[in-house]
Structures are given as C-alpha cells and as structure tokens.
Structure 1
Amino acid sequence: MPEQFAQGFTTLKEEIACDSLPVQGSIPTWLEGSLFRTGPAQFEVGQQRYRHWFDGLAMLHSFSFQAGAVSYANKFLQSPAYKAAKETGKISFGEFATDPCRSIFQRVASAFSSESGANANVNISKMGEAFVALTEIPLPVEFDSRTLETVGVIHHDDGVAGQHSTAHPHYDPIRRAGINSITQFGPKSHYNIHTIADGTTQRTLIGSIPVREPAYIHSFGMTENYIVLVEFPLVVNPLSLLTHGKPFIENFQWKPELGTHFHVMRAVDGRVVKSYPGPTFFAFHHINAFERGNDVVVDIVTYPNASIIDNLYLDKVTTNHETALWGAFTRYILPLDGDALIEEAITEEGIELPRINYERNNGREYQFVYSCGGDWANPNDFLNRLVKIDVQAKTAQTWQEDGCYPGEPIFVAAPQAHAEDEGVLLSVVLNSAKGNSFLLVLDATTFRELARAEVPHHIPFSFHGMYSSLREFEGKF
C-alpha cells in the first residue's frame, strides 16, 4: 500500500500558473471565488532531509472559479526558512521534528526571541482583510491572494506572551475578532487565550490558565459563550526545550497516568468555570463544540495515544507505519452543573481533517461533518476516502476511487442556502495511477461527484485551507 501514496510525500519544485484547467463534469456557475491551500512541498535541502510530514517547506496553492471554469497557481511561501534554505543550501531553522545542529546558546536565544523560520505550512486564515498562512509558531505570514506573492511575516506588538499557538484560530462574528490559544513556556507556563480584533494585528488577552507541564495542543473548541481547551497527556518540561538538543516535539513525553483535562473558560471575561478530568486520549483536531441546556458538548477526532505523531515521520509513513493514520469521532458532554463528563462514540468510521459548515454552525448544534477517512481493516494505507457523517442520525456516506487519496474537504455553501448541507465540497486528490492531482467537486447533499479539474503535476499531501468568495475579494480590492 505505501508505494501507492508515497508520491504525496515527495517534493514538488515546479511553480506554475494555469489560466484554465481541463474540467470533467460541470462546476456550478455560482461557485465564484478561490480555494487556498498551504502544505509542505519540499522535503530536502541540499543533502539534508526533513524528517516529518509536518516539516517540509511550505507551498501555497490556489484554485479560482468563475463561470464554471477553474484556474490554478502554486508558489513557494517566501518564509525566512525557505529563503535561508535557498541561500545556504542547508536547513537553517528548526521545525516540528527536524532541528539543525545548533549550540545551546543559539537554542536559548531562539526560544525567547522572535527568531523563527515561519514555515507556515499548516493552515490558511484571514486576519482582518489580510490572507495569512499559519503554522504553530505564532508568526503568521501574509500573502497576496491574487498572485500568491509573500507579503511578509506579521509580528504581534503586544503584551501577550507565548511561543506555541494552535494552527486553528476561531472567528467570533459577534465580537468581530479571531480567537486563539498560545502556550507560554517558562518557569511559570500558561495557556493564554486571546483575541485579534478585525483591522488590527494586536492581541488582547481574554484569560490565562497556569500549567506546570504544558501539553501539545493543536486546536481547541469554541461555543457561543465558552472557550474549551483540552489538555492531552503529551506534555513537556519547558526546560527540556532549551537543554535537551532535540527537535521540538521530541521533548514531549506521553504520560497516560495524567489523563486528559477539559477546561471551560467564559469568553466574556476569561474565567474558568469548570475543569474536568477525562479519559486518556490524544487529538489534533476538534470538530465542533456547542451548548445544550446546561451542558457543553465537545466533538473531537481522538486517538488512544500519541503514536500517530511517530507514524507520520517520513521514513515510516512511506514504508510501514504501525497503526491507522485516522482517529475516532468521539463526543464529550460536559455538565456545567456536574463534575463527571460523558463520553459517546458517534460513528465507527475512521476520520481525520474534519470540516463543518463553519459560518452557519461553528459553536452551535449541527448535523453534518465532512472529513477524510480510512479503512480500519487496512491500517497501512493512507487516507483514501471522503466521509460525510450525519451526527444526529449517526450514519455515513463515502466517496472513494481506487488509487486516489483525497485531502481535507472544504464546504462552500450555495447562495441563499436553506439546508446545512446545501453546497459543494472541494478536495485536492492525488491520483496515484496517473501521478498527478485533481480538484474534486462534490455535491455536499448527495455526496456525488459534480466535476474534477486536473492539475499537470502531483500536489504533495497538505493539511488545511480556506475558500474565499469573489464577494470577499471585491470587498478587499
């Protein structure tokens, strides 16, 4: 199986701009805007090789739609990490699981300064009117949405401290502000929850949670009134980040005896109203969270432990990883007037990279989740299907094609949509038989293929992105 999808972890050096991709099927004419993606695209520099999927140098991709046609462009993000690699022929900045040999003095200096490669290969978001690429280092990189040219690293000039943020900020339409969590490592470590109001890059602290051994946190939940931060027992002694000489994630230790802890913070004033001990598990991605009466409901893609991180090292994922690269859809019900949480399995489908109708349902009760998925009976394969889950009926629909490996499905609502699932899904798919990729357009209601647009090269497996309508572009330009 690994030989089928191995190309998804190989370097793409070519940067192109295609005014019109060949389309099979029919793309809805109402789809007018652009899909933006970021992800690792270069896995070696000179004689050095990045060690983990999460480490490769970032490349931006855009698919733009108008009148049923689709264009495509890709361009490397001109981050400090990329520029240094081009200039020196070496890996010059530490990444998630790759670290060039640096002295203890360089390590200490970089841990407490703004030095970073800003290799924003994880997610795309908007900061006010600016389009930004994100990673877990709290330095977004702005790019021009028309040309994909890099504008530059955004430095936050404020008093909110921290060295590691989630790559999944939320947006609060009532406050008109982005919300995120940043971990401050030090003798006194904290999770600092903050906002960034539209029109500014300055962060404002909502609240802070002290922690002795910070956990690795990739995402969090948000309801209409609460922030939900989940601490998994993959934790670090902050001193290790300075003294052990290991790549970032290899300083963390799995301590199952700690269990998992859920913190519910009131968004209006940062007060933690409840903290719940929970069962031991690990997760990258929250699906959604919402309030139901006196309960806070949190939906997460869960793993029994953190071995998923080890299985995504490049020398393992492309040969023979030990366990499945997808998790379980698990619901946790947190009673605000009680002390014990309730755990519930929603579906038997193995899923990862989940998306919902965010604008309509984030922080609210919802019905549908869209995700990549895998076959529990074939754990050595990669994510090879798309899955639509009806959360209320606990049923699932799938799209799958032999030799094809789809990426994160992004939901785009149809104009004047009435139903939650009225729209399309956009997913970048690797076709291992042909050695290239295509953009898949699915009807989100029926889960049937509407169209596909072929790209002349393969696109390495990426993580996340966003869709921006033409209306948003017109508002910006």
Structure 2
Amino acid sequence: MSTAQRGRAVMARFSLGLQSLDDETEPVELPVSGCLPEWLNGTLLRNGPAKFEAGATGFRHWFDGQAMVHRFAVDGGRVRYANRYLDTPSSRAVLTEGRIRYQEFATDPCRSLFARFFTPFQRARPANPNVNIARFGDRTVALTESPLPVEFAPDTLATVGVVEYDDRLGGQLTTAHPHQDPVTGDLVNYVTHFSRRSEYRVYRQRPDGTPRRELLGRHRVDEPAYMHSFAITSRHVVLVEFPLVVNPFRLLLSGRPFIENYRWKPERGTRFVVMDREGGQVRAVLRGPACFAFHHINAWEDGGRLFIDLCAYDDAAVIEALSLDSLRGGDALPQAMPTRFALEPEAGTVTAQPLAAESLELPRIAYRRHNGRPYRYAYGVGSRDRRTDDFFNQLVKLDVGDGGTLLWHEEGCYPGEPVFVAAPPGAGRDGAEDDGVVLAVVLRAATASSYLLALDARTFRELARAEVPHAVPFGFHGIFLREDRARDVG
C-alpha cells in the first residue's frame, strides 16, 4: 500500500469524528464494563463542534462546527449520558434555517463590505461557544474566543443565555482558557482590544460569579498575536506572543475569515510578556525562538526564574492542517512537542528544551493543587510513533521531571482530551499528585461509536469503559464537577 493509500485508509477511520451528529440524546444509562472507583461521583461535561455544514454549505475548519455539550453523569459505578446543541443565534441559523449567518474562526458567509467593516468590532457579535466549559461562581458556561460566555444548565444541558459582563472593559478577542488564580481563587483572563492603538487587557473575575471584570493591567501592541491560551504563576501573568500576528485594519477591510488575516513572521521570535498580577506592571518582555502553540501545560516560578511549559509546534502550519479539507483529505498533521521555556527577566534571556520524545496536545494536569506551581505529571493526547498520517490515537502520561511516558493505545481508536480527577483524601490513600483517574471520550472507528474510558492515573491501565450508542464528534475541552458542583477538579 502506498503512503497516499495508507493515508486515505486512516483518514476513512478517523473521519467519523468530523461528521455531524444530528441527534440529541435524552439521558440514557450506558453499559459499563470494568469497575469505576466507588469515590468517582459527579459529572463530566464535554464541549466541541458537532455540526459541520448548513444545508449544502460546509464549514471550512474543525474549529467552526456548531457547539454541542455532552454530559456523563457518574454515580455508584453507573454512567448516564446525554447530549444537546447549545442554543445560540449561530446554531439556530445553521440547524433551523440551514445557512451560515455569522463569522466563525475560518468561515465567513458572504457579506457586503459595509457589514464586514463593522462586524469584527461589534460587542454583541454572536458566539459559537464550542471550545471549553468553566464555572462562574454557581454558573456553568461554555466558552470560545469571543468574550461572550453562554450559560447552560449542567443537569439538563438547556441553554440559559449569554452572560453579559457588567463592565466597560471591552475587547473583541479572548481565550477560552481562563485560569483560576492559585492564591485568591479569582478567574484570570485577558481580552485583546483591536484599534489604532491595540492592547491586551488582563483582568480578573471574583469567585462569587459576579459577571464583572476588573482590569489588572494592560500592554499596548502594534500587531496583536493570536494566543489561544496563556500562563499564570503565583505572582505573574505571562502572555506568550507567538509570531502569528495581525494588522488590526486587515480584520476590518480584507473581507477574509478571521484567522486568514494573521501572518506568520518568524523574524519576530516568540515574545514573553511578563506582567505582575498585583500591580499590573509589565516587568519584562523577553524574546525567545519562533514557535507556535495552542495550549500551555503549566507554569511556575522559582526565585527570579519563570518556567513555561507549552505544547509547541515549529510554526503555525497546524492551523491550516486542522481545516476540514486537510483532515478529511489525509494531509500531514504537524506534531506538538512538550517544551519548557525558562525565563530569566533580570538577565533578559529565554532558553528552551524538550520535555519528552512523545508528542502531546490537549494537555491537562492535577489543576487544583498544581496550577501555577511546580508539578510532575501532565496528561494529553498524541500520535503513535509521532506519525503525521493519522489523528490523535493515543493517550500520554508525561513525567516532566525525567521525560518518561506511559501510553494507552487501542488500534482504530481516537481519544479526546484526558481529564484528571483527583481521588478524595483519606481511606488509606497517599494523596500523591497522580492519585486519581483519567477520563477521556474515545472514538472507535470499527463500530462507528464512542465510549467513555477511565484509566488509573498512576498506572495508566484501564479501569472501565461506558459505551455510547453513537460516534461522538471530536471535541476540545471539558470539566468534571463533583456532586456538590465545586469548581473544576483535579
């Protein structure tokens, strides 16, 4: 079999994860094989795209599909499942009218020049919140890169509505990865304000869930970078500006989809904007080697040095590689490598070193105890033998101390983001960083179905799986909520 033929055969298997899921499932109990831990009680919520066309018109990119949330309720070793589309102006146009009405990451419907001129800067631009899930106090919200969170009920998955911020912070672009401050519990994030004098505005939200953002600091920039996530430590926020940047007026006047306006400028290098969390002052802007990343793994500081761990690509070609035509066509998929950047603000230096020989994406850690602090283990998805002719086909546990890895792989199966759930203290448990389980939704090509997989986080051996009656499209991120609906656990 030629390389092209092998690529098409593999593509035919994982393309099930890129097909629309039209059915919404009312809560149904799933058959479980194996044994889930007695202490594992709560709800895994997953978010991701599930509708990839409107009538005869298709979206261009994996990131453009309409948001669907999936619920796995775990109780006493039993698992109940449901799924539902989020109800937004964008999804209503696609699902009910059969047309694309609003701009997405890489898809833009035909508009007049007048409409194109104003749409990118409208605060009320409709959101397709298909990336992540977070807690705003007692509220559960779905997030994307538009600063318009959409609240939904975690029990029924019914959409409540857009959360309107009670402030004047503004901004048109944010991340779907807010951080919980390891000291105060505040949610910290930033928005990019595009204008003649563009700037990043770092803010916090109090843990009581009040939809008001308080400005922590700002940093002016001529050409804003595309940054899908950022880093936080006990004392600093670090914005990692990859050299994928945009002229703000190109967004206004080009008439092209959002991401196509950005340009790769490796001569800029990667810039690390180090901001003090308390006073908001920019302590340093350091320059490192050019690279690109969607996701941070973790960050912390030791003395005067800061350490930033990223899932790093050589360049931004992965964005086009994740377009639906490229994925469905079996084109090469670049690999993200776990990489540590050591920053020394006083000396003005940045050094980079690989953390492992395995590729790693969609990373998770024991978040509650180790976010912004030293840690040892990360969990993610990867590609077996770092092959570029397949999709994410294995789960990886990485020891960032020595680069060792444990792998889970099953032929013809494609796992999504692994969510670490820490075991509760007591009952003879040692409270180690990897004492818990890892949960992932896995697509099985042979049966055109998916299952919820539970691994022992320490040994990475399978504990149980719960069979879903259909294929779950490839998603992005999610959270596990304890029965008391505490914040994201891990």
Q: Corresponding residue for 1:454?
A: 467
2: distance between equivalents of 1:428 and 1:223? 30
- SS of 1:91's equivalent in the other structure is coil
RMSD over aligned Cα, in angstroms?
1.2
Distance (Å, rounded) in 2 between the aligned partners of 1:242 and 1:377: 39
- Aligned to 2:357, the other structure's residue is in SS state strand
Structure 2 residue identity aligned to 1:113: Q
Does 2:211 match 1:201? yes
Match of 1:39 in 2: 48
Indicate the residue corresponding to 1:298 in structure 2.
Answer: 308
**Residue in 2 that maps onto 1:229:** 239
Structure 1 segment 22-421 matched on structure 2, within 5 A:
22-199=31-208, 200-324=210-334, 326-416=335-425, 418-421=431-434
CA distance in 1, matches of 2:182, 2:137: 12
Partner of 2:25: 16
In 1: Cα distance, 2:20 partner to 2:364 partner: 27
| Structure 2 residue aligned with 1:440 | 453
What displacement does 1:376 show?
A: 4.6
Please give the alpha-carbon distance, in whole angstroms, between the structure 2 residues aligned to 1:176 and 1:353: 23
Deviates more, 1:111-120 or 1:206-215: 111-120
Scaled by the length of structure 2, what TM-score is found? 0.95
Q: How far apart, in 2, do the equivalents of 1:336 and 1:118 lie? A: 37
Which runs of 5 or more residues in structure 2 are unaligned?
A: 1-9
CA contact (8 A) 2:174 2:190 kept: yes
Checking the alignment, whether the CA contact within 8 Å between 1:104 and 1:242 is kept in structure 2 is no
Does the CA contact (< 8 Å) of 2:420 and 2:436 recur in 1? yes
Q: 2 CA distance for matches of 1:46 and 1:115?
A: 26
Percentage of matched positions with identical amino acids: 48
- Could you tell me which residue of structure 2 aligns to residue 469 of structure 1? 482
Alpha carbons of 1:186 and 1:376: their partners in 2 closer, same or farther (altered >3 Å)? farther
Change (3 A) 1:333 1:367: same
Q: Is the 8 A contact 2:35 2:464 kept in 1?
A: yes
Q: Which AA in structure 1 matches 2:298?
A: N
Structure 2 CA distance for aligned equivalents of residues 74 and 377 of structure 1: 32
Instruction: Report if the CA contact (8 A) 1:80-1:116 is conserved.
Output: no
CA contact (8 A) 1:215 1:231 kept: yes
SS of 1:360's equivalent in the other structure is helix
User: Cα distance, 1:375 vs. partner?
Assistant: 2.9
Worse overlay, 19-28 or 435-444: 19-28
Report the 3-state secondary structure (helix = DSSP H, G, I; strand = E; otherwise coil) of the residue aligned with 1:5: helix
Q: Distance in 1 between matches of 2:168 and 2:267?
A: 35
Partner deviation per Cα, 1:179-215 (whole Å, 9 max, x = no partner): 0011111111001100111230011110001000000
| TM-score for the superposition, normalised by structure 1 | 0.97
Structure 2: distance between partners of 1:179 and 1:296: 18
Contact 2:232 2:299 in 1 (8 A): yes
The whole-number CA distance in structure 2 between the counterparts of 1:242 and 1:145 is: 37
Q: C-alpha offsets along residues 405-441 of structure 1, whole Å, 9 cap, x if unaligned? A: 0000000000106100000000000000110000000
Structure 1 gap ranges (5+): none
Secondary structure of the corresponding residue to residue 471 of structure 1: coil
Q: Deviations over 1:254-296 (max 9, x none)?
A: 1111111001111011111111011010000000000112110
Q: Secondary structure at the match of 1:114?
A: coil
Secondary structure of 2:318's counterpart equals helix
- Give the distance between the partners of 1:459 and 1:396, measured in 2 at CA: 27
1:128 Cα offset (Å):
1.3
Letter in 2 for 1:262: F
Is the 8 Å Cα contact of residues 199 and 224 (structure 2) preserved in structure 1?
yes
> Given that residues 429 and 439 in structure 1 are in contact (C-alpha distance below 8 angstroms), is that contact kept between their aligned partners in structure 2?
yes
Q: Is the 8 A contact 2:70 2:84 kept in 1?
A: yes
Cα distance between partner residues in 2 of 1:82 and 1:347:
40
Task: Report if aligned partners of 2:366, 2:422 keep a CA contact under 8 Å in 1.
Answer: yes
Return the letter of the residue paired with 1:201: P
Aligned residues: 473
CA offsets 1:63-107 (integer angstroms, 9 cap, x no match): 011111010000000011011223432100000000001112212
Structure 2 Cα separation of the partners of residues 394 and 378 of structure 1: 19
Distance across 2 between alignment mates of 1:376 and 1:253: 31
CA distance in 2, matches of 1:104, 1:270: 39
CA-CA distance at 1:50 after TM superposition: 0.5
Return the alpha-carbon distance in structure 1 between the equivalents of residues 385 and 455 of structure 2. Answer: 24
Contact 2:264 2:316 in 1 (8 A): yes
Kindly indicate whether the alpha-carbon contact (under 8 Å) linking 2:338 and 2:355 is maintained by their aligned counterparts in 1.
yes
Matched residue, 2:5: none
| Matched residue SS, 1:198 | coil
CA gap of 1:377–1:228, structure 2 versus 1, over 3 A, is closer
Whole-angstrom CA distance in 1 between matches of 2:312 and 2:246: 20
AA paired with 1:458? A
Instruction: Tell me the secondary structure at the aligned position of residue 116 of structure 2.
Output: helix
The alignment partner of 2:294 has SS state of: coil
The CA distance in 1 between the partners of 2:113 and 2:301, in whole Å, is 47
